[in-house]
Chain A
């Protein structure tokens, strides 16, 4: 997607959900001429409107409406802006988004996610509601088709089968983007490499397929079934029984019950591709729940990502015995 189309996508799919005053500021600013790659738009009550562009933040000067990297005279998000924006993202139907609000985010058409923060109402060991919303984070969703191509060879086994793979990376390195593209590639198949697999996605947080009213907003392929909003531990078993997939794709393992669910997937002869937060494999082992899963020897490959050469940089590939098969710095394949 070129920068102009990217700007048009944001102004068409995201800005209508931001308060009239702020969206006017954004539309009239020099955003349309400078075209920065916006990753997040952050609104905080009585704080500057922040445009996160990867490694740096930008602000809008409220007098000249020009983008700047300093805070002088920058546009502020007011309480009223937050209130109006919240009504817009919930389509004036807060009650209909109660489950999403409990989870802390709402998915917009196009797969963009709005994280919300405010006063949490806590009862019975769970968040019942978030009210008095004071901050919002619009995370711009972009499907990067082809970003998983370089990973395919590490996931395929003899061109006709798949390996169990865990993708490891810190936040904002493209884990979910890679998963979405993997689902598309594995589902549709790649000519000259393999024909498609039956793919099942357990999308607990509506991030991989970004479903809206049950319809995936991202292209996840013709052979893909999406179980949206379901806890991984329940969803994986349900998918095996109901849709008999060849591979299950799920995001961010490490919760209670994940280990048993993954074991039952593997024991059923279904492959699994998942992700975990972390900078490398050894850091991951310090997390007890993940360590249990790693010690069970489920995964055949560990793929480490970073954003050293931009999002989705392939950093390292490690096999089940811990032997490094690929490392970015050396740029060689052992």
Chain B
């Protein structure tokens, strides 16, 4: 009897935990979108006032956060620095495609980021500033949408986890 109760509790706990983990991904995405915006703003500042070379600029921008989104910048910067002849747009796209799986960003975010890379480094300061400001606006909108989704889905998935656990317990009884 004791073992039965214990295993039911374990099933309930596991289901609730799975629901909690799933709900957490909805909370991480807006957070990562905010971090991305913060990094892009830092990049804009350095680009405007220090005219640092793009490879160094990307590496230093990426190193300013522990978040996974910093990998886009660091990896693209390293690719540019150590692969002679590669274009900035290709290096950025490669970094985004290879690392987006480690983040909670979705397909729409990925397209925005890849499009941002098409004009990275290939124009004067004003052009670069326009490019960064445009992607900042898009990411802001994505953040709002992600917040909406989080508000709807975060409690929902927590509840679903617990309820699924309870259902499993009932079936097992």
Contacts and interface: CB of A to CB of B under 8 A. Distances in A.
Contacts of B21: none
A32 B13 CA distance: 72
Interface string B44-59: 0001000111110100
A94 B51 contact: no
Nearest to A99: B51
A91 B54 CA distance: 8
B124 A92 contact: no
A95 B45 CA distance: 13
Interface in B65-105: 80, 84-85, 87-88, 91
Contact of B121 (A84, A93, A131): A93
A96 to B, nearest CB: 4
Contact of A87 (B53, B122, B128): B122
B9 interface: no
Interface string A77-115: 000000010111011111110100100000000000000
Contacts of B51: 93, 95-96, 98
A92 B122 CA distance: 6
Given A87-B122, A129-B124, A92 B84 contact: no
Counting contact residues on chain A (CB < 8 A from B), the size range is 10 to 19
Nearest to B84: A16
Chain B, interface size category, equals 20 to 34
A20 B125 CA distance: 26
Nearest to B81: A91
Contacts of A20: 85
Interface SS majority for chain A: helix
Contacts of B127: 94-95
A95 B87 contact: no
Contacts of A84: 87
A20 B55 CA distance: 19
A131 B126 CA distance: 13
Contacts of B80: 92
Contact of B124 (A86, A91, A95): A95
A129 B125 CA distance: 11
Nearest to B86: A92
Interface in B97-149: 120-125, 127-128
Interface of B: 47, 51-55, 57, 80, 84-85, 87-88, 91, 120-125, 127-128
Interface of A: 16, 20, 84, 86-88, 90-96, 98, 101, 129, 131
18 contacts: A16-B85, A87-B122, A90-B121, A91-B55, A92-B53, A93-B51, A93-B52, A93-B53, A94-B123, A94-B124, A94-B127, A95-B51, A95-B123, A95-B127, A95-B128, A98-B124, A98-B125, A101-B124
Given A93-B53, A95-B121, A98-B51, 18 more contacts: A84-B87, A86-B122, A87-B87, A87-B122, A88-B85, A91-B53, A91-B55, A92-B88, A92-B122, A93-B51, A93-B52, A93-B57, A94-B121, A94-B124, A95-B123, A95-B124, A96-B52, A131-B124
